[in-house]
Amino acid sequence: MKKILIYGLCFLASVFFLTDCESFEFTNTNPNVSTKVTPGMLATKLITDITRNGSSSSHGIGSDYVNWLRDNMISKEIYWLEVAERSWMYNSFGRISFDPLTTLNNISSMTGFAGDNEAVVNSYRALGHFVRVYIFYHLTMKVGDIPYSEAMQGDDGIYYPKYDSQKDVFIGLLNELDEADRLFASGASFDGDILYGGDPARWRKAVNVLQLRLLISLSDKENDSGLNVKGRFQTTVNSRPLFTSNADNCQLVYEDRAGMKFPFYRENNNSEQFVQTSSVVIDMLKILKDRRLFYFANPTPQSVSAGTPSSDWEAYNGVEPSNTFNDVQAVVTAGQASRLNLRYFELPDCEPHAILSYTEQQFMLAEAAARGWIGGDAKAYYEEGIRAAMSFTAGNTPDNPDYHHNMMITDSYVEDYLQEDGVKFPANVDEQIHHIMIQKYLANFLQSPWTSFYECRRTGIPALPVNPLSNLNVPGDRMPVRWMYPQVEYDINSENVEAAVAAQFNGTDDNNGVIWILQK
């Protein structure tokens, strides 16, 4: 089983990275802890950093669990009732941090400590490329142009890195994934892997699914000859290994052990009453007669008091996430809102947290087939994506009425669901894309950090609600589409960041600038 190592070990790895190991031997040491850094320790640190919440520095332990769900607030999957000032709920994006780039410092040391076995070194090098791509991808998706080709090269005297165009960043990232695929193909088992047990064949699949994600995000650039989006997609699908089931998911699996428990488990979270399920999700599930409703949410207190069975669709009601705090508070106080399902709080080994999944892959293949990028049956890919999503939810939920409310997801139910109005795969391409994106959104509930927001921004599906009375973006009638650059860049690297802002947004760094990847 894939395991999450105790975070203390990950911290220890970073400490040793900064320590002179030779001089360390002359100090008092703990005989039960290694005094020498290893490539496996650094690999653990790298993997842990990217699986915390996308490129976030917060995982969700203790007081940071709110940050663990911030992307779900932005994509309107949940509402957080604790305080009225929660900026993420009301679209105040502000500035991002480039701090995730510091993770990359460990890559060269990891490969340097890897020894003389070329196959093992190849695996560590490939892992380094995967981590680099994952971090740079999230940064460029948030702001646009970023330092890439000169980033993190202070040892080479580059203290003020230039900004690369987003197009050049994507070309570089796709090339790095090509290299990672090649290296894992000739790699060997390696230490420190908390996801796949050091199996390069399984990592190679994850590399190629990440390649598909980058390519599908470039759908508006499919005719750009410099990118060759369709050709790259075809090559990846036709000649490289991909996920074959949920067992291949790139995901953290939680356990009932110290430091390894689900982030929302009650032991670490005393604020479950603040987490309300959004009407965007609940209304969609009710319209589609989708039984994931009964796995995602709890019936409203009002319906429980009235004796309404928890298996009744009308026992569930989501809060309108764009309503003002006072309006939402009134609905919740009246007992008319559904909290998250109890399983998220009662199970220390609740469902895994995937950063890449078989479900997402199948929906990407369905979209690519619908767009004519690849051969194959878009309907078959789409339906397999739904089956995988349903299986993930049901397979990670114990048979407890409190967790499925006697509306279990069974194989026969799923096959019937595929024929429901609003689910059955249509003939029109635009409608096919719409169906795919709706199912992808639902499958990403509390999963795959930032993907739902990126996809809603790319396709407009589903349309996220905006209320000028609550929206903190300016103007108040639109969702922001990007974050602003870090203030520290203006303080230290001003010439380069200002040049990037001038090139992209006519000198105005705000949350409404349309980054290159979104330009038609």
* 320-333 confidence digits (pLDDT tens): 999 999 999 999 99
> Between 98 and 54, whose confidence is greater?
98
Residue 17 has pLDDT above 80, yes or no: no
Tell me the pLDDT band of 259, cut-offs 50, 70 and 90: confident
Cβ contacts of 224 within 8 Å, gap of 6 or more: 167, 218
Distances in Å between the Cα of 317 and the Cα atoms of 165, 338, 346, 403, 488 are 44, 6, 22, 17, 43
Integer Cα distance of 205 and 368 in angstroms = 18
The 10 Å Cβ neighbour count of residue 422 is 13
Integer Cα distance of 15 and 323 in angstroms = 46
Tell me the pLDDT band of 37, cut-offs 50, 70 and 90: confident
Residue 1 has pLDDT above 70, yes or no: no
Helix axes 378-395, 429-443, angle to 10 degrees: 10
Integer Cα distance of 221 and 227 in angstroms = 8
The 10 Å Cβ neighbour count of residue 181 is 23
DSSP letter string over 275-307?
Answer: EEEBHHHHHHHHHHT-TTHHHHB---HHHHHTT
Pick from 280, 271, 284: which is nearest to 321 by CA? 280
Angle at the Cα of 393 from the Cα atoms of 352 and 80, rounded to 5 degrees: 75
Integer Cα distance of 163 and 140 in angstroms = 11
| Range from 8-22, 82-96, 270-284 carrying the lowest mean pLDDT | 8-22
3: its two tokens: 């395991």
Structure confidence at residue 53 (pLDDT):
55
208: its two tokens: 């190629």
Integer Cα distance of 116 and 136 in angstroms = 29
3-state class (DSSP) for residue 251: strand
Are 378 and 370 within 8 A, CB to CB?
yes
Structure confidence at residue 34 (pLDDT):
52
Q: pLDDT tens-digit profile of 115-172?
A: 999 999 999 999 999 999 999 999 999 999 999 999 999 889 999 999 999 999 999 9
Percent of the chain past pLDDT 90, that is, above it, reads 83
What is the arithmetic mean of pLDDT over 265-269?
80
pTM of the model: 0.92
13: its two tokens: 């790895």
- Which residues are registered as beta bridge partners of 146? 164
| AA identity, residue 81 | L
Are 190 and 120 within 8 A, CB to CB?
yes
Integer Cα distance of 157 and 155 in angstroms = 5
3-state class (DSSP) for residue 355: strand
Distances in Å between the Cα of 239 and the Cα atoms of 178, 242, 378, 403, 404 are 12, 9, 19, 41, 40
Q: pLDDT tens-digit profile of 394-409?
A: 999 999 999 999 999 9
